[in-house]
Amino acid sequence: MMQTVSENFLSVAPEVRDAIGENRAVVALESTIISHGMPYPENVETAMRVEAVVRAQGAVPATIGILDGKLQAGLSADQIERVGKTGQQALKVSRRDIPFALADSTVVGATTVASTMIIADLAGIKVFATGGIGGVHRGAAQTMDISADLQELASTSVAVVCAGAKSILDIGLTCEYLETHGVPVIGYDTECWPAFYTRRTEHPVDYTLSDPAAVAGVLSRKWQLGLQGGVVVCVPVPVQYAQDEAVIDRAISSALAEADALGIRGKDTTPFLLEKIAAITGGSSLATNIELVLNNVLVGSRIAVEYAGRGG
Ligand code: PSU
Ligand code: MN
């Protein structure tokens, strides 16, 4: 089964394949954050800095996307440049979009948390670091807008290291959804969910752990037991880069009102809100975004190294 998948659909970079084969640490990275999460050229610069952080920890980076009609685990620098330059014209690929991106070899497919988890799992990568996850949107009781990221976390066995979820989402409902689906939320050195740009919310995490070996131990016990599904590891943005809560709250309210007035819906909602917030905060939210990603990747790499050290 695995062989057919790799032959027909999946291309794993040689460096990534070797590391997996030798049970060395690999960290998966997503590409929607490159195409839709940040502007060019900061997106490509950040993607390259992120890979350097992974390497400095002794792990191998695997930036994931869909290019040339293949699921790609381990994009080259040229491929990252292509995704970054394509920007919002890239196809934002969640679970439902994967076969369409594969069917057209001209498509530049940028993978979300959900589809990056799927491809990481197919390639045998267990730790994935990114900025923020999708979740239950505010007003979801009416709109039913719940990111496919959450359903993926319910079923696919990959750990996602992130800075929590933005308060463009309803973080309380996001917690409830994850709880219902048995997805553990670990606060890395924090007792509450962080809200991406800011460090604290009123929502408690399920467990607080403060060292990478402890997180790796939980991952390996969960999956060795056959308890399938993801794990969320929430890392607050480093204090010196955190945004002022009141400023971010105002930016988010105004972005939400504009999205509503313009009738923005579906997969366009999250990128629209991210761009508006960056514009309203005069770009300072972009700096926070970049720094929190680098920090999550640092923590994720340390977890991946410990996980590999345990033998999986
Ligand atoms: N949150 C961010 N930055 C991002 C995303 C979310 O702070 O770039 C992206 C991720 O790829 C995530 C996706 O998986 O948006 C969720 O989109 P949706 O809400 O349409 O499922
Ligand atoms: Mn949605």
Nearest ligand for residue 265 CA = 2
Instruction: Please check whether residue 176 lies inside any domain of the structure.
Output: yes
Q: Which of 29, 30, 31, 33 to mutate to test the pocket of ligand 1 (most atoms within 8 A of CB)?
A: 33
Q: What's the CATH number where 19 sits?
A: 3.40.1790.10
DSSP per-residue letters across 203-244: PBPSEEE-SHHHHHHHHHHHHHTT--S-EEEE-PPPGGGPPP
Instruction: Please check whether residue 3 lies inside any domain of the structure.
Output: no
pLDDT score recorded for residue 312: 85
pLDDT score recorded for residue 7: 74
Instruction: Please check whether residue 166 lies inside any domain of the structure.
Output: yes
For the CA of 114, the nearest atom of ligand 1: 14
Instruction: Please check whether residue 171 lies inside any domain of the structure.
Output: yes
User: Which residue's C-alpha comes closest to atom 21 of ligand 1?
Assistant: 147
Cα(286)–Cα(76) distance, integer angstroms: 24
The answer for residues whose C-beta is within 8 angstroms of residue 30's C-beta and 6 or more apart is 63, 64, 110, 111, 112, 113, 116, 128, 130
Q: Are 165 and 196 in contact (CB under 8 A)?
A: yes
Cα(241)–Cα(9) distance, integer angstroms: 40
Residue span of the structural domain in which 64 resides: 10-309
Closest CA to 102 of 149, 65, 62: 65
Instruction: Please check whether residue 234 lies inside any domain of the structure.
Output: yes
**86 CA to centre of ligand 2 in angstroms:** 22
pLDDT score recorded for residue 6: 72
Q: Which residues line ligand 1 (CB under 6 A)?
A: 30, 32-33, 36-37, 94, 112-113, 131-132, 134, 147-149, 166, 196, 267, 270, 274
pLDDT single digits (tens) 188-224: 999 999 999 999 999 999 999 999 999 999 999 999 9
Instruction: Please check whether residue 1 lies inside any domain of the structure.
Output: no
Instruction: Please check whether residue 47 lies inside any domain of the structure.
Output: yes
Q: Which of 29, 50, 94, 112 to mutate to test the pocket of ligand 1 (most atoms within 8 A of CB)?
A: 112
User: Which residue's C-alpha comes closest to atom 17 of ligand 1?
Assistant: 134
Catalytic machinery residues: 30, 166
User: Phi first, then psi: what are they for 159, rounded to 5°?
Assistant: -90, 135
pLDDT score recorded for residue 202: 96
pLDDT score recorded for residue 41: 97
The total number of structural domains in the chain stands at 1
For the CA of 269, the nearest atom of ligand 1: 20
User: Which residue's C-alpha comes closest to atom 7 of ligand 1?
Assistant: 132
For the CA of 267, the nearest atom of ligand 1: 20
Instruction: Please check whether residue 4 lies inside any domain of the structure.
Output: no
In the predicted model, residues of the chain with pLDDT beneath 70 are 1-3
